[in-house]
C-alpha cells in the first residue's frame, strides 16, 4: 500500500473515530493492530502519530498510552466534504478488491467499540458509494461485521462452519460445512463482485489460519490457498469454502481412473510405468517431477493423445482410448505453447472458437458469451488488441496464457488437461493463471496440471499431486502438503511431521525434490553422480504405503458432445477466421499483392527490347523474348503458389492438435484453406498478367494468360499444403521448394528439346516423355505457346488454312518421298542383280503408314485407298505390287500437291483483300506487328529441327510443324501426344 493511500486511510479512520464521544481505547488499539499488519515497527509509530494528529489529541501518544478525552466533535459539513475527497482519492488508486477490504476495515473500526451511531455509519456509507460498492454487498458486509456472534446469518453469500444438526430446521443458514468437533462457529462472507472471502470466528479454540492464531474479535481475509487448522478435526481449505459457493449443481460428476498405465516408445524407452490414480470433478491435480520424468507423457496418455502400451484410462466407465467418439467434447487440452492465431485480436480468437463449438447460438449470443468469458478472465480491456507472438508482443505473457485457457473455457469441457501453464510467466502472472484454474476446479471441473517448481501459494492450490521420478516411476500420489511430510519421514529428517512453516504457513515443494534427488557424497564431502535412492526404490516405497483406491462403478452418464456446426458452417467459420487473420496481417498482404505485379513489371520491362538499332519503335512481332516470357510466367506462378501455401498447415499444426478434441471436420478446414489460397493466387495472377502483358504488349489474351497462371498457382497451392502437412520444420519446407520447382523448369520443354533428353526418363521421339506428362509447368507452357500462336487476333484468321497447307506440304515434300524411298530400293535391286528384295521391317513400315494414311482426315474423306494391302509381305511382294504401290503414292502426291496449291491460292486471295488499299495495307501490317510473333512461330513450328521426318522403329514421325499436327494416337482416352499439339484426345 502506498504512502499516500495509507495517509488517506489514517485520515478516514480519524474522521470516523472522532465522531460523537470521540476516540476510544479499543478504536485506537484497532488502528495500531492494523498498522502492525501493514508496516514495520518504526513506521507504525510514525503513522499512529499521524492518526493522533488527525484526531486532534493534545499530545502524541506512544503505543501504551491511553488517549485523553478530547472534546467530542459532531459530524460537520467540513467532515462530510473531507470524507468525500479522501474516498475519491482512494478510489482512483486502489483496485476494486482493495476498496472492498478498506470498507470492511472501516466497519471493523466502528465495531471495535460497538459505536454504531448515525454519524459514523453515514461516513462509511459515503465511502461505499464513492467506491461503487453495490447496496446488496454493502448490506452483506455490514451484517457480517456488525452482527453479534449468536446472530443468524441467512444471507446467500454467507457460510457457516461448525457443528450443525441436520434434523433441526436451519432455514436461516443458506450454506454450511459440518465440522462437529469445532467449538463455536466460523462465519465466511463471500463478496461475489470481486470474489473475496472474509472470515470471523465466534468460539475460543486455538485455530490457526495459515499457521497464525485466529483472534475471535478480528475479521480475516480468507485468501486463495488458505487453510484453517483446528485442534481436533480435519483442516478446512479455501477450496472447500469456494466450492460451496461456486460449484455448479448441474455439472456432471466425472470420474477419471488410470489402471496401471504404461507407455513404451517405439525406440524401447519407457515413458511412464504402472501409473494408478483416480480423481473426480471439483479437483485440481498437479503432475510433478524432474525433467524427463514423463510428466507431459502422462498428461498426453490421460487426455487420449497417446495410446498406452499397457493399462487403461477410464472416464465414467468409458475406455478413453478405445471409445474416443463417446467422449468427444468432454476433454479439453491446453498445451505449453500458446496456441493462438497471432493476427487476430483477443476477441476474435475467442469468437471463432465459440462459433466452432456452438451451432445454435446467434451472433448476439456468441458475442455475449465471449464478452462474459473475457470479463471473467480480466481480458475485456484488451479485447481489441492483436495477440501477436512472443517475439512481437501485443499482449503480456500472462494475458496470453489466460486467453489460451479461455479458448477451452468457452466450450466448458468437463476434464481439462494443462501443460506447464506458468512457464515463462512472472510470479504474479503465474498466480493469476493458477487462480483461474483453481476457480474452474471449484466450479466442478476436473483439472490435471503439469507444473514445474511452483511457489508455495500455487502448490497449496492443488487438491492432490502425482510425483514422477526418472524413468516414469510413480513415487507419490496424494495431498500436496502431506507429500512433504511423506518424503521427510522416509528421509528420517527432524520435524518430519511438519509440512509447512508454523509461522507463515509456507510450503516449500523444493524440499521434496531435494530429498528425491539427493546424491551420495564422497570422502571429501563432494556429491557424486550416484543417487542415494534410485527411482525404482522410491516406487517400491510408494507401493508399500499406498492404498489402492477402490473402483467406483456408479458413474453419471456423460453428456452429448457440444453441438458443433455442420460441414458447410464449419467451412464458413474456418474460411472467415483465416480471411480475418490474413487481412489483419498488413505485411503479409502488402508483400503478397505487390510481389506479383513487381515481378511482372521487372520481367516484362527487362526483356522488352527493340530489334532495330536505328528505331525507337517497339514491335511485338520482332521481340525474340516472348517464349522466355511465357516460360518465366509458369515458373513465377509455381513459385508464388508454393510460397503462399508452404507454411499454412505447418503453422496451424498446434491449433489443429487442440481442435482434434472438438471433433471438427478436417476436410472443411482443408477446403477453407484451399479457398483462401485460390483467392490470393487469383489476385496475384491477375496483377502479374495485367502488368506483365501490358508492358510486353501481349494484346487480347489477358484472360487466357490469367487462367493458365492461376491454374498453375492453384496446383502449387495444393502442393504447398501437402508439403506443409508432411514436414515439421519451416526450414525443411523452404529447402524443399527448389527441389520441386527446378524439375518443373527443366521439363517444361522450353529449356531443353524433349528429343534430346535421357530416354531412361520414359521419353520417345514421337511423344512427350512420361515424366514431363506429370509436370504442370509443361502443360501450362505448352498451352500458352500454342494458344498465343494459333489464337492471336492476326493468325487466327489463317491458322486453319495454314494447317492444311502444312499437312499438304509435309506429305508432298517429305512424307511421300520417304515412303517412295523404301520401295525404290526394291526396284534398284531388281534392275541390278535380278534378285528383288525388300526387308520385312520396311514392309511393316509401309503397311503401318499406308493404313494410317488411309484413315487420315483427308485421304479417308476422298477414299484414297491402296487395294493391295494384303500383298505387302515378303513372300507376296512383286513388281506388280511395286507398280500398284508406286501408282498409289503418285495419286497421293498429286492429291496433296493440288490441295496445297488451292490452299495457297485461298491464302493469297485473303491476304490480297486485306492489303488491297494503302490504308488496309497499313492496318494489316499493324495487326501482324501487334499480335503475331515470328520467333514464337519458329518455336511452335520447330523450324530449327534438323530433320522434318524421322523413322522410329517401323513408323515415320513428323518433326516439323508440330503445332499443326493433331494427335496420332487414335484412342480418344489417350492423354499422351507430341509436344505442342494443337489439341488433345482427352480433355
Q: Can you spell out the DSSP letters for 90-101?
A: HHHHS-HHHHHH
Assess contact for 299 and 450: CB atoms under 8 A: yes
Cα separation, 939 vs 366, in Å, equals 62
pLDDT of residue 248: 57
Cα separation, 454 vs 765, in Å, equals 74
Cα separation, 377 vs 379, in Å, equals 5
User: Measured on CA atoms in the order 699, 704, 705, 706, is the torsion positive or negative?
Assistant: positive
Task: Write the DSSP symbol of residue 812.
Answer: I
In which element (H, E) is residue 135 found? helix 135-146
Weakest mean pLDDT among 118-132, 368-382, 711-725, 883-897: 118-132
Q: Take residue 470 and report the three cell numbers written for it.
A: 526418472
Q: Is 393 helix (H, G, I), strand (E, B) or coil?
A: strand
Q: Is 697 helix (H, G, I), strand (E, B) or coil?
A: coil
Does residue 960 surpass a pLDDT of 80?
yes
Complete edge-to-edge strand list for the sheet that includes strand 158-162? 175-178, 158-162, 186-191, 196-201, 220-221
Phi and psi (nearest 5°) for 179?
-135, 85
CA-wise closest residue to 779 among 641, 944, 985, 976: 976
CB neighbours of 502 closer than 8 A, spacing ≥ 6?
Answer: 211
Does residue 16 surpass a pLDDT of 90?
no
Does residue 852 surpass a pLDDT of 60?
yes
126-156 pLDDT tens trace = 888 888 888 888 888 888 887 755 555 667 7
Q: Please identify which residue in the block is written with the cell numbers 541390278.
A: 832
- For the chain, how far is it from start to end, CA to CA, in angstroms? 80
Question: Confidence band (pLDDT; 50, 70, 90) for 722?
Answer: very high
Q: Judging by DSSP bridges, how do beta strands 227-229 and 270-280 pair with one another?
A: unpaired
pLDDT of residue 616: 86
Cα separation, 378 vs 380, in Å, equals 6
Assess contact for 353 and 564: CB atoms under 8 A: no
Question: Confidence band (pLDDT; 50, 70, 90) for 551?
Answer: low
Weakest mean pLDDT among 42-56, 195-209, 509-523, 667-681: 42-56
DSSP string, 231-248: SSS--EEHHHHHHHHH--
Cα separation, 517 vs 135, in Å, equals 56
Q: Take residue 279 and report the three cell numbers written for it.
A: 480423481
555-569 pLDDT tens trace = 777 766 557 788 999
CB neighbours of 52 closer than 8 A, spacing ≥ 6?
Answer: 60, 61, 67
Does residue 321 surpass a pLDDT of 50?
yes
CB neighbours of 571 closer than 8 A, spacing ≥ 6?
Answer: 665, 668, 671, 672, 675
Cα separation, 712 vs 634, in Å, equals 7
Assess contact for 187 and 153: CB atoms under 8 A: yes
Number of H helices, E strands in the chain: 33, 25
Assess contact for 500 and 481: CB atoms under 8 A: yes
Cα separation, 442 vs 402, in Å, equals 17
Assess contact for 270 and 467: CB atoms under 8 A: no
In which element (H, E) is residue 52 found? helix 41-55
Provide the 10 A C-beta neighbour count for residue 368.
Answer: 12
86-104 pLDDT tens trace = 777 777 777 788 788 888 8
Provide the 10 A C-beta neighbour count for residue 232.
Answer: 10
pLDDT of residue 562: 59
CA-wise closest residue to 241 among 273, 217, 209: 209
Cα separation, 960 vs 946, in Å, equals 9
Q: Is 199 helix (H, G, I), strand (E, B) or coil?
A: strand
The percent of residues in the chain predicted with pLDDT above 90, rounded, is 28
Cα separation, 516 vs 290, in Å, equals 10
Q: Please identify which residue in the block is written with the cell numbers 495495307.
A: 921
The percent of residues in the chain predicted with pLDDT above 70, rounded, is 89
User: Whole-number mean pLDDT of the chain?
Assistant: 83
CA-wise closest residue to 560 among 873, 252, 977: 252
Cα separation, 360 vs 349, in Å, equals 19
pLDDT of residue 707: 96
pLDDT of residue 61: 42
- The model carries a pTM of 0.72
Phi and psi (nearest 5°) for 22?
90, -175
The backbone region for 453, taken as left when phi is positive above 0, alpha when psi lies in -120 to 50, beta otherwise, is: left
Q: Take residue 969 and report the three cell numbers written for it.
A: 494416337
592-643 pLDDT tens trace = 999 999 999 999 999 998 888 888 889 999 999 999 999 999 999 999 999 9
Assess contact for 277 and 313: CB atoms under 8 A: no
- Rounded to the nearest 10°, the torsion over CA 496, 497, 503, 507 is 70
Cα separation, 284 vs 278, in Å, equals 12
Cα separation, 680 vs 921, in Å, equals 45
Assess contact for 58 and 22: CB atoms under 8 A: no
pLDDT of residue 514: 85
Q: Average of pLDDT values for 435-451?
A: 85
Give the 3-state DSSP-derived string for 327-357, with helices as H, strands as E and coil as C: HCCCEEEECCCCCCCCCCEHHHHHHHHHHHH
Q: Residue 862 burial (CB < 10 Å; 0-12/13-18/19+)?
A: exposed
Provide the 10 A C-beta neighbour count for residue 223.
Answer: 14
Q: Take residue 37 and report the three cell numbers written for it.
A: 499488519
Assess contact for 175 and 159: CB atoms under 8 A: yes
pLDDT of residue 645: 92
CA 735 distance to own-chain centroid:
23
Question: Confidence band (pLDDT; 50, 70, 90) for 763?
Answer: low
Q: Residue 729 burial (CB < 10 Å; 0-12/13-18/19+)?
A: exposed
Cα separation, 687 vs 689, in Å, equals 6
Assess contact for 812 and 904: CB atoms under 8 A: no
Q: Average of pLDDT values for 927-931?
A: 92
Q: Is 551 helix (H, G, I), strand (E, B) or coil?
A: coil
Question: Confidence band (pLDDT; 50, 70, 90) for 939?
Answer: very high
Q: Is 850 helix (H, G, I), strand (E, B) or coil?
A: helix
Cα separation values, 579 from 343, 590, 687, Å: 10, 15, 20
Question: Confidence band (pLDDT; 50, 70, 90) for 834?
Answer: low
Does residue 673 surpass a pLDDT of 90?
yes
Q: Take residue 826 and report the three cell numbers written for it.
A: 526394291
Selection from 494-503, 670-679, 742-751 with the highest mean pLDDT = 670-679
Question: Confidence band (pLDDT; 50, 70, 90) for 672?
Answer: very high
Cα separation values, 654 from 292, 344, 515, 649, 725, Å: 22, 16, 37, 9, 12
Phi and psi (nearest 5°) for 751?
-80, -40
In which element (H, E) is residue 478 found? strand 473-478
491-517 pLDDT tens trace = 877 776 666 665 555 777 888 888 888
Cα separation, 700 vs 693, in Å, equals 9
pLDDT of residue 60: 41
Cα separation values, 811 from 814, 821, 826, 889, Å: 6, 14, 22, 10
Higher per-residue pLDDT: 915 or 178: 915
- Rounded to the nearest 10°, the torsion over CA 625, 627, 633, 635 is -110
Amino acid at each position: 500500500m502506498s504512502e499516500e493511500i495509507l495517509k488517506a486511510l489514517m485520515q478516514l479512520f480519524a474522521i470516523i473515530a472522532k465522531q460523537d464521544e470521540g476516540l476510544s481505547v479499543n478504536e485506537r488499539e484497532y488502528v495500531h493492530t492494523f498498522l502492525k499488519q501493514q508496516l514495520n515497527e518504526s513506521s507504525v509509530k510514525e503513522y499512529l502519530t499521524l492518526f493522533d494528529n488527525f484526531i486532534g489529541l493534545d499530545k502524541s501518544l506512544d503505543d501504551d498510552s491511553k488517549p485523553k478525552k478530547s472534546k467530542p466533535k459532531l459530524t460537520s459539513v467540513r467532515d462530510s466534504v473531507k470524507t468525500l475527497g479522501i474516498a475519491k482519492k482512494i478510489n482512483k488508486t486502489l483496485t476494486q478488491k482493495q476498496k472492498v477490504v478498506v470498507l470492511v476495515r472501516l466497519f471493523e473500526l466502528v465495531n471495535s467499540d460497538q459505536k454504531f451511531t448515525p454519524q459514523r455509519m453515514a461516513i462509511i456509507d459515503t465511502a461505499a458509494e464513492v467506491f461503487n460498492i453495490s447496496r446488496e454487498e454493502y448490506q452483506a458486509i455490514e451484517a457480517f461485521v456488525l452482527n453479534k456472534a449468536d446472530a443468524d446469518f441467512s444471507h446467500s453469500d454467507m457460510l457457516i462452519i461448525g457443528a450443525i444438526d441436520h434434523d433441526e430446521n436451519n432455514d436461516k443458514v443458506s450454506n454450511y460445512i459440518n465440522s462437529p468437533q469445532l467449538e463455536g462457529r466460523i462465519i465466511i462472507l463471500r463478496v461475489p463482485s470481486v470474489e473475496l472471502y472474509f472470515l470471523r470466528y465466534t468460539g475460543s479454540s486455538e485455530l490457526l489460519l495459515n499457521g497464525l492464531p485466529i483472534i475471535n474479535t478480528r475479521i480475516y481475509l480468507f485468501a486463495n490457498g488458505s487453510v484453517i487448522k483446528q485442534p481436533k478435526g480435519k483442516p478446512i481449505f479455501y477450496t472447500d469454502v469456494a466450492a460451496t459457493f461456486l460449484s455448479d449443481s448441474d455439472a456432471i460428476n466425472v470420474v477419471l481412473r488410470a489402471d496401471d498405465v504404461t507407455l513404451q516408445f517405439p525406440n524401447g524407452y519407457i515413458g511412464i510405468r504402472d501409473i494408478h490414480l483416480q480423481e473426480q470433478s471439483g479437483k485440481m491435480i498437479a503432475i510433478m517431477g524432474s525433467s524427463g520424468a514423463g510428466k507431459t507423457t502422462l498428461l498426453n496418455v490421460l487426455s487420449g493423445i497417446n495410446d498406452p502400451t499397457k493399462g487403461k484410462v477410464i472416464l465414467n466407465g468409458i475406455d478413453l482410448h478405445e471409445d474416443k467418439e463417446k467422449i468427444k467434447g468432454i476433454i479439453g487440452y491446453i498445451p505449453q505453447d500458446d496456441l493462438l492465431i497471432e493476427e487476430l485480436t483477443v476477441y476474435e480468437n475467442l469468437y471463432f472458437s465459440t462459433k466452432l463449438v456452438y451451432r445454435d447460438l446467434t451472433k448476439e449470443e456468441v458475442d455475449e458469451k465471449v464478452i462474459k468469458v473475457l470479463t471473467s478472465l480480466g481480458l475485456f480491456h484488451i479485447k481489441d488488441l492483436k495477440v501477436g507472438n512472443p517475439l512481437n508482443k501485443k499482449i503480456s505473457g500472462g494475458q496470453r496464457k489466460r486467453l489460451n485457457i479461455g479458448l477451452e473455457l468457452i466450450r466448458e469441457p468437463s476434464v481439462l488437461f494443462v501443460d506447464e501453464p506458468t512457464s515463462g510467466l512472472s510470479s504474479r502472472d503465474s498466480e493469476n493463471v493458477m487462480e483461474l484454474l483453481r476457480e474452474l476446479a471449484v466450479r466442478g471441473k476436473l483439472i490435471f496440471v503439469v507444473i514445474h517448481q511452483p511457489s508455495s501459494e500455487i502448490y497449496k492450490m492443488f487438491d492432490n499431486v502425482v510425483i514422477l521420478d526418472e524413468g516414469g516411476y510413480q513415487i507419490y500420489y496424494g495431498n500436496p502438503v502431506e507429500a512433504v511430510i511423506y518424503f521427510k519421514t522416509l528421509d528420517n529428517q527432524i520435524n518430519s511431521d511438519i509440512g509447512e512453516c508454523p509461522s507463515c504457513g509456507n510450503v516449500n515443494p523444493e524440499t521434496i525434490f531435494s530429498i528425491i534427488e539427493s546424491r551420495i557424497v564422497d570422502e571429501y564431502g563432494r556429491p557424486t553422480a550416484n543417487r542415494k535412492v534410485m527411482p525404482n526404490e522410491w516406487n517400491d516405497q510408494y507401493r508399500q504405503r499406498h492404498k489402492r483406491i477402490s473402483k467406483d462403478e456408479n458413474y453419471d452418464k456423460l453428456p452429448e458432445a457440444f453441438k458443433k456446426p455442420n460441414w458447410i458452417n464449419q467451412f464458413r467459420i474456418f474460411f472467415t477466421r483465416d480471411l480475418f487473420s490474413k487481412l489483419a496481417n498488413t505485411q503479409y498482404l502488402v508483400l503478397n499483392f505487390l510481389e506479383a505485379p513487381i515481378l511482372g513489371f521487372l520481367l516484362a520491362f527487362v526483356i522488352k527490347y527493340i530489334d532495330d538499332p536505328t528505331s525507337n519503335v517497339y514491335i511485338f512481332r520482332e521481340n525474340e523474348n516472348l517464349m522466355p516470357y511465357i516460360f518465366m510466367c509458369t515458373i513465377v506462378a509455381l513459385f508464388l503458389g508454393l510460397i503462399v501455401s508452404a507454411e499454412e498447415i505447418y503453422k496451424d499444426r498446434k491449433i489443429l492438435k487442440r481442435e482434434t478434441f472438438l471433433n471438427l471436420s478436417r476436410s472443411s478446414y482443408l477446403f477453407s484453406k484451399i479457398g483462401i489460397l485460390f483467392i490470393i493466387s487469383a489476385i496475384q495472377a491477375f496483377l502479374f498478367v495485367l502488368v506483365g502483358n501490358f508492358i510486353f504488349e501481349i494484346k487480347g489474351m489477358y484472360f487466357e494468360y490469367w487462367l493458365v497462371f492461376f491454374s498453375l498457382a492453384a496446383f502449387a497451392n495444393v502442393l504447398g499444403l501437402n508439403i506443409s502437412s508432411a514436414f515439421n520444420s519451416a526450414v525443411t519446407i523452404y529447402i524443399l521448394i527448389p527441389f520441386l520447382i527446378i524439375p518443373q523448369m527443366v521439363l517444361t520443354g522450353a529449356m531443353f528439346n524433349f528429343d534430346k533428353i535421357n530416354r531412361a526418363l520414359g521419353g520417345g521421339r514421337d511423344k512427350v516423355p512420361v515424366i514431363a506428362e506429370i509436370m504442370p509447368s509443361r502443360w501450362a507452357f505448352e498451352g500458352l505457346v500454342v494458344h498465343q500462336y494459333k489464337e492471336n487476333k492476326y493468325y487466327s484468321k489463317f491458322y486453319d488454312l495454314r494447317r492444311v497447307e502444312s499437312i499438304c506440304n509435309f506429305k508432298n515434300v517429305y512424307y511421300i518421298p520417304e515412303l517412295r524411298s523404301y520401295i525404290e530400293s526394291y526396284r534398284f535391286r531388281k534392275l541390278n542383280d535380278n534378285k528383288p528384295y525388300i526387308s520385312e521391317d520396311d514392309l511393316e513400315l509401309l503397311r503401318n503408314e499406308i493404313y494410317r494414311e488411309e484413315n487420315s482426315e483427308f485421304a479417308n474423306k476422298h477414299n484414297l485407298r491402296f487395294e493391295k494391302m494384303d500383298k505387302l509381305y515378303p513372300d507376296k511382294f512383286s513388281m506388280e505390287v511395286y507398280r500398284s504401290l508406286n501408282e498409289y503414292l503418285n495419286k497421293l502426291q498429286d492429291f496433296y500437291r493440288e490441295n496445297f496449291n488451292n490452299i495457297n491460292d485461298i491464302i493469297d486471295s485473303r491476304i490480297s483483300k486485306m492489303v488491297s488499299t494503302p490504308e488496309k495495307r497499313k492496318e494489316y501490317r499493324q495487326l501482324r506487328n501487334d499480335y503475331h510473333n515470328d520467333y514464337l512461330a519458329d518455336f511452335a513450328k520447330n523450324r530449327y529441327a534438323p530433320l522434318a521426318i524421322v523413322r522410329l522403329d517401323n513408323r515415320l514421325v513428323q518433326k516439323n510443324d508440330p503445332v499443326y499436327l493433331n494427335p496420332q494416337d487414335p484412342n480418344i482416352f489417350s492423354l499422351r501426344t507430341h509436344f505442342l499439339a494443337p489439341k488433345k484426345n482427352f480433355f
